Structure 1
């Protein structure tokens, strides 16, 4: 298919762009295969807007006489309006945008056509390989091994080719466990706590069914993660009622009679259409221009978004507490183990591991716990809050996770190397991007699409030195401690940087952030100057000390020479009385 076939009117002059808190701009609108481009070359107001078609969630058409308007609602939650003279031109452009923003084939998306304009310092596709992660683990414990049982994706289509499992469990056992777990997602290592050797595993639900089917190999694998005399916790991200209902459909949960050393805890975390409806209601509340505070707060509460954040953070804190304070290992799973499970395991690691609070560490966490772990980004992020065509597999699971990370960052502003802008950027690229990182639903699909060969990794761009500084937190001070976020209602706040950024002027916030950076930079300049002066003083003191020692040595040498001269005089007197 040629993109030109979908573009009925490639250009419209005298178009007018409307955006909240921006002046109205008149210019030229152009459509390409992947971008909507608006350009104004007026000297008094030069403006250029590039919008990916894949970022468009839905469009609305309005007509007033011969003037047509297109309201474009984007996946990053912004709304823009384009006034286009001529009804036919407006209809053609609207239908073209609709066609180009809903392409069926992944290979027609922009990442397959994008060519970077920057020098690639580091290949993001090979930056976080499982083998590299395992080297770090293997340096502190020899109880685990790499398994390549899934190298052809035949055991579990949503797992990566390489997983970390207990060394005492062979691949034959893993194969039998995979049959017993939903989607073949057998328990694998998610996190090793260096402080006490406890671990966190993740998997999908066991297929016990109504007959209470058991699998001795699964019991052996799960128990292999326990230290002698230790107990473990199974955190099921479904309510007890939902888990019991799953048994009627062939699923279920671990029965304590077969897992006597494990205690099962249910922490209900909502999924799928419930989360999607919550996002829609939240965005609707944030777009409410009535300026009635009571109505706005009522809508915000009715969306339940903050409630879901509290539930996720509570489950993550529970998992972290079991590991760090109880000294117990943890297994986390829901139904498939690709959504709420990953939210809990990822957030627990951010709480426990200071490395995950660095930029590179957080990137590694996303690759390991989301991309390689099989979160279906293609399905979950197909549409955002404005789309009229709702699919049952859409859900803002990743956005909720990022929101939870922001909540922790907001409570511990000095403990994270990255800033809010980094989290917002990840949200944007998960829904629409020129990079191939978030394409596909799992490693199997990405392998078939040959993303590593045909697209650029987001990490290749982010990790450039000049880009990294935009994502760095100027307040960062490395904190090696476990951090415990509060889940009290007064401690959780609406993430304005995502949900209100298009509904309020950002000039003052940007100015405040710049001022903060200047203050921090100036303080660091002063600190560097103090350190430099201190170094100079120490060097001067060292030089003075050396000079004094040299002078003392010279004096000692002179004294020795005087003594020698006296001895020589005495000898001469004795020889010549």
Structure 2
């Protein structure tokens, strides 16, 4: 039921906004439960207001005007978000930019982005929303909503974008609780010994200044994380290089001089990952189906897949530790869409407990992969001609490698993730299904065009609406992690995994999913989950529902005696 204002007769702007359809659009489409409402209430400041969106607006109002009075939320909404003074209720977050596009509908990805902005407290005193790329004029592969340092104008951003590959200049990707920003971009266009961009240096120091405004530590730094190997820098044909520490640490920057550092992650390119993935598939297909002796681990080790996973996890852990220490981090690779997305997303999973929930993981993938221009069509050969014998050089399992790394974390920290291995397999399958708009196209611009074409026919579905139904519906058994501890969401404690190659395991749920032995194991696991769900419902039932609940359980899952019989039969067959 809809919440009502305290005074229904009050015609103030506050009550009009509460009654408006804009507010209830967020409330109804979010599908929030009481548990998720507690997440928002704990994540934001205790302002005494029930709605998380209102609290986010209060925080933004106080950040922009420290002397502002918060009279129960009255007057906050009209002044907290960009509003032209018309009679229409104001929009929060990114929706005011979306409204400016004539005929462009607001997708569920836009709504997730707007809620994420509220959760992170954006915009604030240091970071602002920029519409410089609203029509994709500056960068075709960047989203239309960008967060940049408040000290820079849109005119400066247009100049700076010319000195980065594909005009992907540094923008904010995520903001830590201590104020440390995680930014992403593409490689600088000048070579290692070429001329430097003074505007690019100004942008990097503006990012450092934004971090120093929230954290006054004496040893605060800006760490530029280069995902490539140093040898690969000199093999680029387009002259791409890396940041020059000589110019960035010059004495002319005053207090910020000597605070910029460069670190290499030594991650291989997409062709190496494609070759390693192919070798893993060959090794898994060579395994005997009857469970005979076969050194599968040795065959996978020879492919180098675990070594690549180890380097990616090490780079993500390095970024997470720098952010946890309060340092500003800028991540980039060749074009800022493949290895950059892996490192940025995994670092957020390590340090942000909300990213380990179903809703948080959906927003993370939507933001770091779909919105920031990961090329799903090219990387996963969605439009490739099957009769063509030439090898697709753009195809590479970058996103599948990211899901493999997430699965490695779920194995090491089983109580910190709300979703299970089966959920990750469903996400991987959704990339190749072709039914979901989230995994189509090569950038946000392509997906918006596709959304406009298919909006009337409704031929494409939002992937996360379907996948979240696999977890929260009553019939969902395998997608939910029953070991998940909800208290970890409120502790805000990072997780530090074992990143050694010897400590990693083969993701059998994906690579061996079609083997006969794996099928028996999954069947046993499913029946055990059903039996566990039966016991859980039996413990939660009330005296009023005592006569009805056992019958519903038997109708849905079958009798417990039948389950035990199936368990014994399948264990003998395995």
TM-score of the aligned structures, taking structure 2 as reference length: 0.66
Higher fraction of strand: 1
The residue number in structure 2 matching 1:461 is: 466
Task: Please state whether the residue corresponding to 1:269 is helix, strand or coil.
Answer: coil
Residue in structure 2 matching 1:163, options 125, 128, 146: 146
Task: Please state whether the residue corresponding to 2:129 is helix, strand or coil.
Answer: strand
Q: Whole-Å Cα distance in 2 between the matches of residues 135 and 468 of structure 1?
A: 32
Contact 2:379 2:397 in 1 (8 A): yes
Aligned CA RMSD, in angstroms, stands at 2.6
Task: Please state whether the residue corresponding to 1:448 is helix, strand or coil.
Answer: helix
The residue number in structure 2 matching 1:273 is: 271
Contact 2:149 2:206 in 1 (8 A): yes
From the superposition, tell whether residues 423 and 389 of structure 1 become closer, same or farther in structure 2 (CA, over 3 Å). farther
From the superposition, tell whether residues 517 and 271 of structure 1 become closer, same or farther in structure 2 (CA, over 3 Å). farther
Q: Whole-Å Cα distance in 2 between the matches of residues 220 and 517 of structure 1?
A: 58
Matches within 5 A, 1:232-311: 232-246=222-236, 249-260=238-249, 261-289=259-287, 293=293, 296-311=296-311
Deviation string 1:410-432 (CA, Å, 9 cap, x unpaired) is 11111111111111011111122
The residue number in structure 1 matching 2:71 is: none
Contact 2:306 2:504 in 1 (8 A): yes
Contact 1:461 1:467 in 2 (8 A): no
Matches within 5 A, 1:20-419: 125-126=108-109, 128-138=111-121, 141-194=124-177, 196-209=178-191, 211-226=193-208, 227-228=211-212, 229=218, 230-246=220-236, 249-260=238-249, 261-289=259-287, 293=293, 296-324=296-324, 326-382=325-381, 389-419=390-420
Residue 503 (str. 1) matches residue 515 (str. 2): yes
Contact 2:287 2:296 in 1 (8 A): no
* Structure 1, gaps ≥5 residues long: 1-122, 533-577
Deviation of residue 249 (structure 1)?
3.0
Contact 1:474 1:520 in 2 (8 A): no
- Please tell me whether Structure 1 or Structure 2 has the larger radius of gyration of its CA atoms: 1
From the superposition, tell whether residues 285 and 209 of structure 1 become closer, same or farther in structure 2 (CA, over 3 Å). same
Q: Whole-Å Cα distance in 2 between the matches of residues 524 and 254 of structure 1?
A: 58
Deviation of residue 129 (structure 1)?
4.5
Residue 476 (str. 1) matches residue 466 (str. 2): no
Aligned residue pair count: 405
Contact 1:256 1:263 in 2 (8 A): yes
Task: Please state whether the residue corresponding to 1:456 is helix, strand or coil.
Answer: coil
Deviation string 1:167-187 (CA, Å, 9 cap, x unpaired) is 111111111111010001010
The residue number in structure 2 matching 1:564 is: none
Q: Whole-Å Cα distance in 2 between the matches of residues 209 and 126 of structure 1?
A: 37
Contact 2:437 2:451 in 1 (8 A): no
Contact 2:309 2:501 in 1 (8 A): no
Deviation of residue 275 (structure 1)?
1.2
The residue number in structure 2 matching 1:14 is: none
More displaced, 273-282 or 344-353? 273-282
Q: Whole-Å Cα distance in 2 between the matches of residues 177 and 406 of structure 1?
A: 38
Deviation string 1:215-273 (CA, Å, 9 cap, x unpaired) is 22211211122234421111100111112333x63210000012222110111112222
Higher fraction of helix: 2
Q: Whole-Å Cα distance in 2 between the matches of residues 275 and 363 of structure 1?
A: 25
Deviation string 1:488-507 (CA, Å, 9 cap, x unpaired) is 23421000000011123313
Deviation string 1:269-292 (CA, Å, 9 cap, x unpaired) is 122221111111101100104567
Q: Whole-Å Cα distance in 2 between the matches of residues 503 and 292 of structure 1?
A: 13
Deviation of residue 388 (structure 1)?
5.3
Contact 2:117 2:123 in 1 (8 A): no
Contact 2:172 2:184 in 1 (8 A): yes
Higher relative contact order (CA 8 A, sep 6+): 1
Deviation of residue 309 (structure 1)?
0.8
Deviation of residue 206 (structure 1)?
0.7
Q: Whole-Å Cα distance in 1 between the matches of residues 277 and 168 of structure 2?
A: 29
Task: Please state whether the residue corresponding to 1:203 is helix, strand or coil.
Answer: strand
More displaced, 329-338 or 442-451? 442-451
Q: Whole-Å Cα distance in 2 between the matches of residues 152 and 201 of structure 1?
A: 22
